[in-house]
Structure 1
Amino acid sequence: MDWISIIRAIISVVGAIGAILAAIFAFRYGKKSIELVKEQLKIIKREKPAEGEGEIEKLGFLIPDRVRHKVSYAKQDNREHLVKDLILPPNKEVTIMLWIKPKSNYTVEDNYFGCEGDYDKKPEPIAYFNPFVLRGKIKEITPEENEHHYIDHHKYYHVKSKQEFTRDEVYVKGYKIQTHDEGGYIAKYIIRTPNRVKEHKLKIKVSGKKGEKMKCLIHNNCYIDLI
């Protein structure tokens, strides 16, 4: 018997032993345990993330033109504006929009948005909305109405459904936010792909101070006044 035959025989024996052990495990601990083992093996076998997977080339809060969608916290004109630092009034329910430009092509399995900070003081997303839908059931979505939407214990709003992100395309996601106490908060937009979890940070300032402005990232020497 040559070495190749010996190796093949060993592999066959190991495979048979593995099958017997799996059968014993299934009999003793049940099908759910086997499924759990399979899921863990899938995680182990995941490939390394592709270059740019989960990355965003440009991210900001969108202040839309006054015709497309009206917001209650900023003065609007006939142009779109993009800001990194969003200023919102305290103790108000407002709508905000994320402007997202992916760095590469990848599949998003789950994406979620929320704020860091004191649990009872930080702004919290309470619903998802599509800012450019004029009428229809998908104009506004809540976790109670859609099985793919939920809010976790950290007050992050999840949309757990597959979406293909394409490089150089722009995606806008809207959220209805309930603000509370004044202060500065780190806002996070988190993307989960098949191979990685990637978080992206912005800032939200909750303030009732008059005369503050937000700096626009698109237009030169452009600042947005608050209402």
Structure 2
Amino acid sequence: ARDVLVTNIAPAIEGIKAAMESREIQEFLKHFKDGIFIPRRISAAFAAVLFLSEKVGRGFGEKVSVIRFADEAQVLPFGNSYYMDSASGKKGVLEEAARMIVDRIGNSYGQATQLGAAMRSAHQVLDNFQSMNPDQPTMIILLTDGIPTDGDAFFNEIKKFSENPNVVIYIVGLGNPDDELMARAASLCGGEYFKPEDAGDLLIWYSKRARDLTVKLKAHKE
């Protein structure tokens, strides 16, 4: 299984360094030296932090939940909530979320790939979101480095999501996933399957996804 090459992300790293002064984040960012390969779990944590920072930067009030999965699936807590409100305005909310992501994802290890459990958790989060706003468009980004180890559970959940016109699913493959299965799953839900060549590719892709949800959902509905 391949790790991820660090290249073309220096501006993003410097931006996060400047915005977050905590020791945990500063130590975490030391992994990212141009030209080296980093473990996929570190890349996954960086991707989650990057996506949150993009959402906060836009300030449109979108809600973001993060689900960690390996041997089990866990919806990460944001204070007393299961999501982060990107327009909360609360000082330090992004840095607090970033520290938690680094701890729970960047420093975690697991042998399994419980994709079915992760998607069930995503469905529970979606139900809660839709109880607040039934027609709210929702983007799910699944970042995986493996093949589902829980049988058909993953694809069964994907079929349920495909019936909801307000949901689009993107899948990012970092290691050696089942490319055919992931491409099929993303296509069913109006999204795409993407395998970045390096961390710079991942950075560009996440930046675009933070901006284009409305356009993609419109295309999906048609």
- Same fold by TM (over 0.5)? no
Larger-Rg structure: 1
Could you state the TM-score of these two structures normalised by the residue count of structure 1? 0.28
Structure with a larger share of its residues in helix: 2
Structure with a larger share of its residues in strand: 1
